[in-house]
Structure 1
Amino acid sequence: MTDWVIETENLTKEFKGFRAVNNVDLKVARGTIHALIGPNGAGKTTCFNLITKFLQPTTGKILYNGRDITRMKPHDVARMGLVRSFQISAVFPHLTVLENVRVALQRPLGTAYHFWKPESSVEVLDDQAMDLLEQVGVSSYARLTAGELPYGRKRALEIATTLALDPEMLLLDEPMAGMGREDIKRISDLILSVAENRTVLMVEHNLSVVADLSDRITVLARGEILAEGSYAEVSSNPAVVEAYMGTGHG
């Protein structure tokens, strides 16, 4: 029996009569990298926002490790280990790279906003912060302000701040958006290493990235699941080819 981390049942979201997501039954297996793809307007982002609790479904149910989280708030599911990258991590540009990770490490301790405390009280987190920066390949930038980082390295820092919450499941919303080839390779390698002991669900437009990284792919079209399977299976599916060819890759 497959161990599902995320399950959605008849997940539906309507906006003023328009069904952006329609009866989606999605299952994400533990320890896999699962990609959510589809042409423009397919409902990927809406589906992602429903799972991460930034939107409430019109109908349907969302289970995380078998527990119903349908009506929970984003910060509550984050505490349970379901963490969306580039959401809580939005980097503080005027803090150093090290300080950004230190702030993220303070969140579970409930001291994230105790800025009036002496700096020595948070320096105990420096070794842990440096370990995370090492993991994502930006430790050499530790003393720079985050605003000085090149774009791809900033994305790596955002992943480090997300990892500071020690997530069981990581949700990545278009992690390669706006990146050049070198950065894409670096972040792809990072996602693979991060996924060694976690489950990853990502929305991604770059199909070569999806082909390289994903264990399983769900293709959405017009708010419904069009196909599921490996990259080889979905890319050779005539309905998928037609959906993409008809609307562009978007």
Structure 2
Amino acid sequence: MSDCILETEGLTKEFRGFVAVSDVALRVRRGSIHGLIGPNGAGKTTCFNLLTKFLQPTRGTIRYDGRDITSMKPAEVARLGLVRSFQISAVFPHLTVLENVRVALQRERGGSYDFWRSETLLRRYDARARELLEDVGLSAYAGALAGSLPYGRKRALEIATTLALEPVMMLLDEPTAGMTHEDVDRIVTLVRRVAQGRTVLMVEHNLKVVEGLCDRITVLTRGKVLAEGDYATVSRNPEVVAAYLGSDAPAHA
């Protein structure tokens, strides 16, 4: 079994002549937490969309767990265990917290009409849903409407629904964006916990979070890989400092 669970070669995406991602070679080690960072407009979310097949690459290849997934559709790669969250919090606001997780669990039925199944039939998923809510610290909110949750707890609910899909690898797009310090600490603890036995690739702007969580980091700028390594290595790289702070920034910044 390969040490890398996700690999790309020459990954490129062009939009009518604009190159958003250019010749990206990414290697994500199995069982690691890998950070994808860079200044605004670096191509991080476009790269995520390519990896999870919401966009098709202009050229290049993507291999996941030894399989070429370059031409697959989003639902197909999700079924293989490659599951993502999104930058903007997405929950069913008028369903309870428990019902949100239960919707994700219902995928095993393989049908498209489970919203119209009897409540009794769907309650078979409640025990597992409560376990997942316990995992993300939301047990006390099981009966609350998802739309009433504060932002940080909505992000935790998203992670619970992601876990309901039984991911082998999770892609988290800015999991701490817009959060208070208290919520950031809670999500960091949560990500560290759910990463046990899984691989995580995360886009994150908060470099303190990246430093505390990530085993390895890939830095993008203008769609290209600028640097790669552990946090200590990339944070001392003068090119990385310049990309974040401007070309005249001193390296010690």
**Structure 1 length-normalised TM:** 0.95
In structure 2, the partner of 1:34 is: 34
User: In structure 2, what residue type is equivalent to 1:200?
Assistant: V
- Stretch deviating more after TM superposition (38-47 or 184-193): 38-47
Report the alpha carbon displacement of residue 46 of structure 1 after superposing the two structures with TM.
Answer: 1.0
In structure 2, the partner of 1:193 is: 193
User: In structure 1, what residue type is equivalent to 2:191?
Assistant: I
Report the alpha carbon displacement of residue 155 of structure 1 after superposing the two structures with TM.
Answer: 0.7
In structure 2, the partner of 1:208 is: 208
In structure 2, the partner of 1:129 is: 129
1:105 pairs with 2:105:
yes
Encode CA deviations 1:34-73: one digit per residue, 9 max, x unaligned.
0000111211111111111111100000000110000100
Query: What is the count of residue pairs matched by the alignment?
Result: 247
In structure 1, the partner of 2:246 is: 246
Report the alpha carbon displacement of residue 196 of structure 1 after superposing the two structures with TM.
Answer: 0.7
Aligned mates of 1:150, 1:208 — CA distance in 2: 23
In structure 1, the partner of 2:168 is: 168
Aligned mates of 2:61, 2:212 — CA distance in 1: 31
In structure 2, the partner of 1:60 is: 60
In structure 1, the partner of 2:251 is: none
- Equivalent pair of 1:192/1:213 in contact (CA under 8 Å): yes
Partner SS state of residue 186, structure 1: helix
Aligned mates of 1:187, 1:75 — CA distance in 2: 26
User: In structure 2, what residue type is equivalent to 1:124?
Assistant: R
Encode CA deviations 1:125-175: one digit per residue, 9 max, x unaligned.
111000000000001000111011111111101100110000000000010
Report the alpha carbon displacement of residue 184 of structure 1 after superposing the two structures with TM.
Answer: 0.3
Aligned mates of 1:109, 1:203 — CA distance in 2: 32
User: In structure 1, what residue type is equivalent to 2:35?
Assistant: A
In structure 2, the partner of 1:93 is: 93
Encode CA deviations 1:78-127: one digit per residue, 9 max, x unaligned.
0000001238x831100111111111100132246322221000111111
Aligned mates of 2:68, 2:230 — CA distance in 1: 28
Equivalent residues in 2 for 1:150-169, closer than 5 Å: 150-169=150-169
Encode CA deviations 1:163-218: one digit per residue, 9 max, x unaligned.
00000000000101110100000000000001011000011111110001000000
In structure 2, the partner of 1:49 is: 49
- Equivalent pair of 2:2/2:66 in contact (CA under 8 Å): no
In structure 2, the partner of 1:14 is: 14
Q: Structure 1 residues 86 and 47 mapped into 2: Cα distance closer, same or farther (>3 Å)?
A: closer
Aligned mates of 2:127, 2:179 — CA distance in 1: 30
**Structure 2 length-normalised TM:** 0.94
- Equivalent pair of 2:106/2:114 in contact (CA under 8 Å): no
User: In structure 2, what residue type is equivalent to 1:162?
Assistant: T
User: In structure 2, what residue type is equivalent to 1:70?
Assistant: T
Aligned mates of 1:99, 1:65 — CA distance in 2: 32
In structure 1, the partner of 2:177 is: 177
What residue ranges of structure 2 are gaps of 5+ in the alignment? 248-253
In structure 2, the partner of 1:228 is: 228
Aligned mates of 1:115, 1:161 — CA distance in 2: 16
- Equivalent pair of 1:33/1:213 in contact (CA under 8 Å): yes
In structure 2, the partner of 1:79 is: 79
- Equivalent pair of 1:86/1:159 in contact (CA under 8 Å): no
Partner SS state of residue 20, structure 1: strand
Q: Percent identity?
A: 69
Q: Considering only aligned residues, what root-mean-square deviation do their CA atoms show, in Å?
A: 1.6
Aligned mates of 1:131, 1:146 — CA distance in 2: 17
Aligned mates of 1:111, 1:71 — CA distance in 2: 24
